[in-house]
Structure 1
């Protein structure tokens, strides 16, 4: 058999694995909104939400990403990779991972937590799922990834799906700041797209398993540092954070961190193997698991517009993903 053909088949198998990793990442991440919502219903987070709008989202983001970073570190220690953390941080690709951590960490985690707090566990997650459309455009500009006609159609469907989902708030008046929550979700989508693009640049030279470990610790650390400033209550914010640790609320956050860490673990591997735009597109399967878990465990409302919008968005995401055979030329320049 021709050597080029053997290499082609090997690369194609690796790219197909990337699609499976992206799907797994999405399904795992869909568990986190329900766990976050459960923690919000318990003190001290329940009471703290009355003090400052950003206090609770920042605390949750800090604790979740730090817990996730510890879980990933345990896995990397087991694999004998822990010593690589410092070396990578000193390198230029490692700095790309740190920069990506800012967008995916303090920015995205705070806005996604705020969106869940303001609009519930289902609608914001659906809106944030339009990030593959944003990411596909950025991938074309920054990473030179090709975008086919089908992918452009998929991008349009993602936007239509997001608009359909946000057309009507849930009934019952439980979320008076519903549309502010959706705005937070959209900011999350932009931040996630930027994170994936920047992280992919770094992971050309960094092991994805180490990249996600650095990402989670950097995110948790940065959020911890900016907590007093953005929360608006100074050092008192640390008091609320530490009060949360011995409670059941933190147990839910830590569990969310485990699922998020596993999700990002596969997500970064997917981005490295099948490209940023494709990994983002398939990652939006978290809308499915988030919806199912939210209904089963929280009794969340499901409206016809939500179902139609989510299906439209998912179809669009699949069109953005494209055919497995196309993955090998994703980053060729036209």
Structure 2
């Protein structure tokens, strides 16, 4: 029994870390795709981010559909959508996909890697929304974590990187993404309690991609850019890979939540703020400044403090050592 519990914890910890690493990779690959024509130099604030967001989510949805076909659960999508929890998932998908993910990629396009740790503040807003909608009290630890997150955001914005004309707007978009993902989390927590999480993720990614590509893009006048992108192999190839990373990240995140708990799962997933910045520095030569490094570390500390009690975590580690 002791060995089984330890194995269970190892699986949850490993999948949680994988979710953070793959989300950092997804962020980097999406940015790389944006360096290729016709996405590079595209006119307008909305067209390029929503082409990349829509294609990434759509490809992620296709990867997840293939996964659910292989596991024999594909029929559950239609059944889930007929239920009330399924409709709640649809609402959360629209908030977290077209609104939050679109804003995240707009933030990346304008502020670069600086937008990544700002978006990680979704845990802060999640605690606020849990207090409002779920009547969960904000204890001293959570409040302290919130303050630390705000301090980290101030540090990141203290010095604007050179040559970034829309930096402030990009940071605002990252905040919008954090708020949207927090709302999605509250809705997903309700729907996922009664539905298969793999099906929930599948619905989320496919719906987000379809709405981005066939509802928002026509309104933003971006269908020409979408057509040009689909005919250009390099950006499509990168977005197919980024979609795979996003699919793996979500699957591992939910797996981690179910094995070691949502608090620990979120703490491990939130490491994407570190991995995303690191991969951007390594692969796309993101300029490194003291403010982005210090601010990212501060936000990660605050986010972890919001999601998990460090004293409880230490006690759990002691229990495992004693069991061994």
Question: TM-score, normalization: structure 1?
Answer: 0.85
Equivalent of 1:133 in 101, 120, 124: 124
Equivalent pair of 1:133/1:158 in contact (CA under 8 Å): yes
What is the SS of the residue equivalent to 1:299?
coil
What is the SS of the residue equivalent to 2:248?
helix
Distance 2:209 2:40 in 1: 21
Distance 2:84 2:254 in 1: 18
Equivalent of 2:110 in 110, 118, 125: 118
RMSD: 2.6
What is the SS of the residue equivalent to 1:45?
coil
CA separation of 1:13/1:195 partners in 2, compared to 1, >3 Å: closer, same or farther?
A: farther
Equivalent pair of 2:51/2:217 in contact (CA under 8 Å): no
Distance 2:183 2:155 in 1: 24
The alpha carbon displacement at 1:224 in A equals 2.0
Question: Where do residues 1-334 of structure 1 align in structure 2 (5 Å cutoff)?
Answer: 18=12, 20-47=14-41, 49-50=42-43, 52-120=44-112, 122-145=113-136, 147-171=138-162, 173=163, 175-231=164-220, 233=221, 237-247=222-232, 248-271=234-257, 279-320=265-306, 321-322=308-309, 323=312
Distance 2:137 2:8 in 1: 19
Distance 2:14 2:141 in 1: 21
Distance 2:6 2:214 in 1: 43
The alpha carbon displacement at 1:308 in A equals 1.3
Distance 1:86 1:183 in 2: 37
The alpha carbon displacement at 1:12 in A equals 10
Q: Which runs of 5+ in 1 are unaligned?
A: 1-5, 328-334
CA separation of 1:226/1:276 partners in 2, compared to 1, >3 Å: closer, same or farther?
A: farther
CA separation of 1:95/1:12 partners in 2, compared to 1, >3 Å: closer, same or farther?
A: farther
CA distances 1:216-266 after superposition (whole Å, capped 9, x unpaired)? 0111111123234541x2xxx323212212321111111111111111122
CA distances 1:245-292 after superposition (whole Å, capped 9, x unpaired)? 232111111111111111112223445566656544432201111121
Q: Which runs of 5+ in 2 are unaligned?
A: 317-324
Q: How many positions carry a matched residue from both structures?
A: 312
Range with bigger deviation, 32-41 or 266-275 = 266-275
CA distances 1:147-199 after superposition (whole Å, capped 9, x unpaired)? 4422221121111111111111123x1x2111110000000000111111111
CA separation of 1:325/1:84 partners in 2, compared to 1, >3 Å: closer, same or farther?
A: farther
Distance 1:14 1:100 in 2: 29
What is the SS of the residue equivalent to 2:40?
helix
Distance 1:199 1:21 in 2: 19
Question: TM-score, normalization: structure 2?
Answer: 0.87
Equivalent pair of 1:101/1:216 in contact (CA under 8 Å): yes
